[in-house]
Amino acid sequence: MSIPQFAVWAPVPSAVTLHVRPVGGTATTVPMTRDEEGWWTVDGPLPSGPSGEPGVGEFDYGYELDGSGEVRPDPRSRRQPEGVHGWSRTYDPFAFAWTDERWTGRQLPGGVIYEMHVGTFTEAGTFDAAIDKLDHLVGLGIDFVEIMPVNDFNGTWNWGYDGVLWFAVHEAYGGPEGYQRFVDACHHHDLGVIQDVVYNHMGPSGNYLPEFGPYLNSGGVNTWGESPNLDGEDSDEVRAYIVDNVHQWLRDYHVDGLRLDAVHALHDTRATHILEELSIEAEVLSAFVGRPLTLIAESDLNDPRLITSREGGGYGLTGQWSDDFHHALYVSLTGDTSGYYADFDSLEALGKVTEAGFFHTGTRSTFRGRSHGSPIDTLRTPTWRLVVCSDNHDQIGNRATGERLSARLNADQLAIAALVTLLSPFTPMVFMGEEWGASTPWRFFTSHPEPALADAVREGRKEEFKAMAWGDVEVPDPQDPATFTSSKLDWAEPEEPAHAALLALYRQLLEIRRTVPAFTDPRFDTGHARSDDDEHWLVLTRDDAAIVVNFGSEPAEVHLEQSATTSLLQVGQVEVAADGTTVRLGPTSALVTHVELPNLPTSFTPGS
């Protein structure tokens, strides 16, 4: 839907007045008139901009509701130079001089995602500074950059999930024009962009939407805040608000996909679920712009309906995260079975995830105290629809001190984590700095200026994960600026020998993924897993390739069902017997190999 400048949906107040001024000029007020749908439009002359034409140019503006004397920002504001409590500023996204006209997009199948937080990816913490690091991502073998939320929030730094103005790009990162420069540069580097968006709740500070209209669900809140009104009275306009935001990213800002945060918290009882509606909109827009548009859900429901086609009765999303993969791999590497990791205390769990996509498929979850997941068969689902990782912002940041796997594992264990993830049949995701084993932590940080809110966040942080085995570790204060600055990547590290070795391994693994078809084969039924918890080994086979891993601290001997023919990669001490079926593994070691199968080549040469 096309929204004219200086129009606002506000069915709650009985009077709305526009306050507007040319940037650097004098403010004036303009009365507004309401239509029967609750939309208010200007009913008087607008001030002149630099060109001398009324209403043409750059303006700061806001809305006064019911003569309150307070000026509120526009719910659809694209710029907030003074923060979420300040006046909005007009911004024309179509004025940007795009240079990506040759960009035809990227499909998710076969792709590799890199998750980054703009504020900590570089020392400067801006879009422009991130552009300077894009060559690093290309050299690594990345296909998509997934940016953690950048919509406006109160404060200077934040993870981004407390946003309250969904259309405005946070000024500290570079604002909307800086964002467009970044997307344009990514496309010139043949990198797609996936934007992380949060539609399941509003942040706690600067949320003025209820003063305008019934944007929020009167029935209550979810874990993180007040839920949107997706199915109540006047929910049509709320859903349009979300749909228009999707259009902003995918159409106006040329983004290639969205990661939809915690969709299990979207309460929607209408016949067409909001996720299906977004899927439809993405398909329509994709046909118009002529490039693939991807929607990836974060969901802990383990429900294949999200990624089942609409023709098949599903929501039709492109992909979804599989946290089960992370949990199973994490337990196999660390032995940590506290909290929600308890169910994954077996290598069979990791094997099942690679064979079925999820571990919990209607099975009992001891952490939840009930059965979890859907028993619906995933075998007809392409494997690439599931996004997996060995670490991500949630899993690292929700540990007591924000320690990465690199703080807990040795070099061979980190290599195994990379190997199992990057050569999995799924869509792998790398968290920024993981590729060189960054020593910097990734901590939970906030900058709420309200003392009461800051205290609530500190206490909530301690309570939320008390079920985990944190012991007596002191949790860093989220409000301490040092918690934020310590989470910034150190870009000198990739040049250091130990870090450089791991980085070289990541590049090698992604090259193998690109050149050996078995590792991007999307069929679940071409994969098989075997494991032994006593001997701590796991064998994963796909087509004519096999991965053999010894997670244990003692040597292990594994007998393959097919003869190994060509070693593609080794970690640690590995010996393949002359018969090709016996593999002797030293402690914490792994082998990636081709295996001999009937009527299949024993090796693959690109272009053959």
Query: Do 120 and 37 fall into the same domain?
Result: no
Question: Per the residue annotation, which of 261, 268, 276, 323 is the catalytic one?
Answer: 261
Q: Which domain, by its residues, includes 44?
A: 7-72
**Pair 445, 323 in one domain:** yes
What is the distance between the alpha carbons of residues 478 and 457, in angstroms, rounded to a whole number?
Answer: 8
DSSP letters spanning 263-323: GGG----SSS-HHHHHHHHHHHHHHHHTS--EEEE--SS--GGGGS-TTTTS---SEEE-H
- pLDDT of res. 1: 52
3-state secondary structure 425-450: CCEEEEECCHHHCCCCCCCCCCCCCC
> Which residue in 115, 143, 298, 394 is the catalytic one?
298
3-state SS assignment for residue 246: helix
The secondary structure of the chain in percent helix, strand, coil, rounded to multiples of 5, reads 30, 20, 50
Q: Total domain count for the chain?
A: 3
Q: Are 546 and 580 in contact (CB under 8 A)?
A: no
Q: Is position 127 within any domain?
A: yes
In this structure, are 500 and 534 located in the same domain? no
pLDDT at residue 577, rounded to an integer:
95
Residues of the chain with pLDDT under 50: 600-608
519 in a domain, yes or no?
no
Active site residue 298: yes
Residues 322, 240: one domain?
yes
pLDDT in tens, 29-53: 999 999 999 999 999 899 988 777 8
Please, what's the b/e burial string for 497-536 (b: 16 or more CB within 10 A of its CB; e: otherwise)? eebeebbebbebbbebbeebebbbbeebeebebbbeeebb
Nearest to 349 by CA among 364, 370, 366, 328: 328
Task: Looking at the structure, tell me whether residues 36 and 160 fall in a common domain.
Answer: no
Q: Which residues contact 59 (CB under 8 A, 6 or more apart)?
A: 20, 21, 22, 23, 47, 49, 89, 90
Q: How far is CA 90 from CA 40, 60, 168, 250, 253, in A?
A: 17, 7, 10, 20, 16
| Final residue in a domain of this structure, among 510, 542, 571 | 510
Same domain, 309 and 352: yes
β-strand pairing of 144-147 with 113-116: parallel
Distance CA 514, CA 605 (A): 11
For residues 385 and 304, what is the distance between their CA atoms, to the nearest angstrom? 10
Q: Are residues 128 and 17 in the same domain?
A: no
pLDDT for position 5: 83
Q: Are strands 16-22 and 7-9 parallel, antiparallel or unpaired?
A: unpaired
Do 295 and 221 reside in the same domain of the chain?
Answer: yes
DSSP state of 48: B
Query: Which CATH number characterizes residue 429's domain?
Result: 3.20.20.80
452 and 560 share one domain: no
Domain end marker among 43, 72, 101? 72
**In this predicted structure, what is the pLDDT of residue 598?**
62
**Residue 261, in any domain of the structure:** yes
100 located within any domain: no
pLDDT score at 601: 42
> What pLDDT score was predicted for residue 600?
44
Residue that is last in its domain, among 42, 72, 102 = 72
Q: Are 510 and 522 in contact (CB under 8 A)?
A: no
User: Does residue 418 share a domain with residue 542?
Assistant: no
Whether 88 is covered by a domain: the verdict is no
Is there a domain that residue 603 lies in?
no
Within-domain flag for 78: no
CA distance 34 to 366: 54
**Closest C-alpha to 116, from 148, 87, 156:** 148
Residues 30, 44 contacting (CB under 8 angstroms): yes
174 and 308 in a single domain? The answer is yes
Backbone phi, psi, residue 416, to 5°:
-65, -40
The verdict on residue 254 lying in a domain is yes
pLDDT for 101: 96
- pLDDT tens-digit map of 427-443: 999 999 999 999 999 99
> Catalytic annotation on 281?
no
Pair (447, 399) in one structural domain = yes
CATH code of the domain in which 589 resides: 2.60.40.1180
Distances (CA, A) of 289 to 88, 103, 272: 29, 11, 25
